Structure 1
């Protein structure tokens, strides 16, 4: 994300001369977060910075497959974007691997984030270091923020993406599972989509 770096009290000089972020006493806010000079794909969860480990090839190719398939199916009023921060609250700014947002919310080429109310779908591709966050922490926060659809993508036994789909239950405020898709992701909501997941091995 692009922002002017801050080198004031939010950073502490380490013995090796590097400046690591120094958390405020009550944790970072989103206002702090978007002014810090941070490694790519750092997330803000519960006021704490979450740094991302180097990603495996599966992670990149699964995102490519879904972005291409979703983009081909999107209605005109929606857009798909990869690895953009979503502001969920005062101390929450995770970065889903893929989001579907309204075209109206995507009008500024210089923007670095979306608001939760502009997101229709959030997608996370599981990595070894993110499994607990992707299947527990993040979906709970996406649901609490009112994001209606969530997909969790795992590597299946054939070493290709399996997509677990969820929809927000308005009565419970939590996600309800709607299916597990191995060879083909074919859905009518949140929009009509049909992706051949076996194409993964041809990317």
Structure 2
């Protein structure tokens, strides 16, 4: 005796499923192709081209962070640090999980050993929320970056004049979930907010204004 499957089950069975991309296959892609995609659980996710405001905000955030990273290194309390935009970051090998954070603060890579950015190098990743990325940035990536062990995550939002808020999260190592540390807001009273982790940074909002 056979049991009839629901119509949608037959459709799923007949519809070809996309093949998962392996780490080796991804690494064989050209940089041009890799820059336009992310890989989530082995499946290709196409990235929309960032708007000019999004690009400007990413550059301003990276410049601000880099200035403080250089001061942190000069203090002698930190090792070599680097800040980059739109970097291919490996979170997991199987199934493959690659993201491209808008900004990343990380430990310097050993180029002689051919190291590529991985979760264990990252100290902080920053995502800039766009109209189409709300769920990804505030839910999907929030969980992915935490499970990968990245210590700090910032979610930033824009208006027509630049960066307006920065939501700060720190990893709770016991649960491997992020704890919300607070939200910095451009229109708050008082001077520029200063934070100490993952490195000392003073958020000068004028530097983040278009």
The answer for the alignment partner of 1:43 in structure 2 is 38
The answer for the alignment partner of 1:187 in structure 2 is 195
Of Structure 1 and Structure 2, the greater helix share is in 2
The answer for the alignment partner of 2:11 in structure 1 is none
Q: Work out which of the two has the higher radius of gyration on C-alpha atoms and give 1 or 2.
A: 2
| Aligned with 2:165 (options 162, 166, 170) | 162
Structure 2 residue matching 1:152: 3-state secondary structure: strand
Runs of 4+ displaced beyond 4 Å: 156-159
d(CA) in 2 for partners of 1:29, 1:58: 34
Verify the 8 A CA contact 1:154 1:162 in the aligned structure 2.
yes
| Aligned with 1:94 (options 99, 102, 110) | 99
Verify the 8 A CA contact 1:84 1:112 in the aligned structure 2.
no
Moved more, 81-90 or 34-43: 34-43
Q: State how many pairs are aligned.
A: 177
Matched, 1:65 2:37: no
Deviation sequence 1:45-82 (CA, Å, 0-9, x none): 11111111121122112111111111111122211111
d(CA) in 2 for partners of 1:158, 1:114: 32
Structure 1 residue matching 2:117: 3-state secondary structure: strand
Unpaired segments of 5 or more residues in structure 1?
1-21
The answer for the alignment partner of 1:122 in structure 2 is 125
Deviation, structure 1 residue 199 = 3.0
d(CA) in 1 for partners of 2:55, 2:115: 20
d(CA) in 2 for partners of 1:150, 1:180: 12
Distance 1:197 1:176, change over 3 A: same
TM-score scaled by length of structure 1 = 0.78
The answer for the alignment partner of 2:205 in structure 1 is 197
Unpaired segments of 5 or more residues in structure 2?
1-16, 74-78, 187-191
Moved more, 71-80 or 150-159: 150-159
| Aligned with 1:142 (options 141, 145, 149) | 145
Distance 1:162 1:156, change over 3 A: farther
